[in-house]
Amino acid sequence: MTPLSPLDRAALLGLARRAILAHLGVAPPPELPETGALAEPRGAFVTVRVAGELRGCIGNFRPGGSLARTVAAVAVSAAHEDPRFRPLGAGEVGALQVSISALGPSRRLADPRAVRIGTDGLIVKQGWHRGALLPHVAVEHGWDAETFLRHACLKASLPASAWEEPGTEVEAFEADEFGEEPAP
C-alpha cells in the first residue's frame, strides 16, 4: 500500500467532490487516474457534511477497483444513499465539506485490547452482524480501547460486551484520514 502524498490527498478530495457534483448534474464526471497510489485497489469511506452537519458517511472495505474509483462511488453514495439523511441537493453544494478515509487491509486482533487508539479502526463480526468504526471516532470521543470496542459492538447491533465472546471476531485496520477545511 503506497502512502498518499499531500497531492494524492488533494486529488482524492477533488475527485470525491466532482463525483458528487456530476451526480447532481452540475459538473462533468471526474477523470480517474490509471497509475500511481490512486490506482491501487483500496477500500475507502467518504463523509459528507453540509455547513458542518453530518449528512452521510458510506464506505466499502472491499475495493471495487482503484482507490479513485472506490472514492468516487462511495462519495456519491454518502451524499445520496445514506438512509439516515435526506439526499444532498444542488443548493447545498456551497456548504459541502468532504472527508475521506483511505483504508489499509484489516487484520485480526488476537487481543482486542491491543487496538491502537488514533491509529486503528475496528470491525466487529458475529454471525451476520457487522459493525465498523473509523480510527478518528475514538479520538473525537476520548475513548479508551474497551470503550471503543463496546461502541463497535453496539454499531454491529450486538451487546456492548460481545467483543469478549468466543464467537466474535475483532479486526483492526489503519486509515489515512483527511478532509476539506471548513469554509470561513
Are residues 57 and 104 in contact, defined by beta-carbon separation less than 8 angstroms?
no
**Does residue 184 surpass a pLDDT of 60?**
no
Task: Tell me, yes or no, whether 66 and 121 share the same domain.
Answer: no
In terms of Cα–Cα distance, which of 69, 90, 94, 65 is closest to 79?
A: 90
> By residue range, what is the domain housing residue 114?
109-174
On whether both 40 and 14 belong to a single domain, the answer is yes
Within-domain flag for 34: yes
Average pLDDT over residues 71-87: 96
What domain count does the chain have?
Answer: 2
Average pLDDT over residues 67-81: 97
Same domain, 158 and 82: no
pLDDT tens digits for range 86-121? 999 999 999 999 999 999 999 999 999 999 999 999
| Last residue within a domain, chosen from 103, 123, 155 | 103
One-letter identity of residue 66: S
Q: Which residue has the cell 497510489?
A: 37
From 61, 86, 103, give the residue that closes a domain.
Answer: 103
Q: Where a domain ends, among 57, 81, 103? A: 103
Q: Is the dihedral of CA 162, 165, 168, 174 positive or negative?
A: positive
Q: Integer distance in angstroms from the first to the last C-alpha of the chain?
A: 35
Q: What is the pLDDT of residues 123-155, one digit of tens each?
A: 999 999 999 999 999 999 999 999 999 999 999
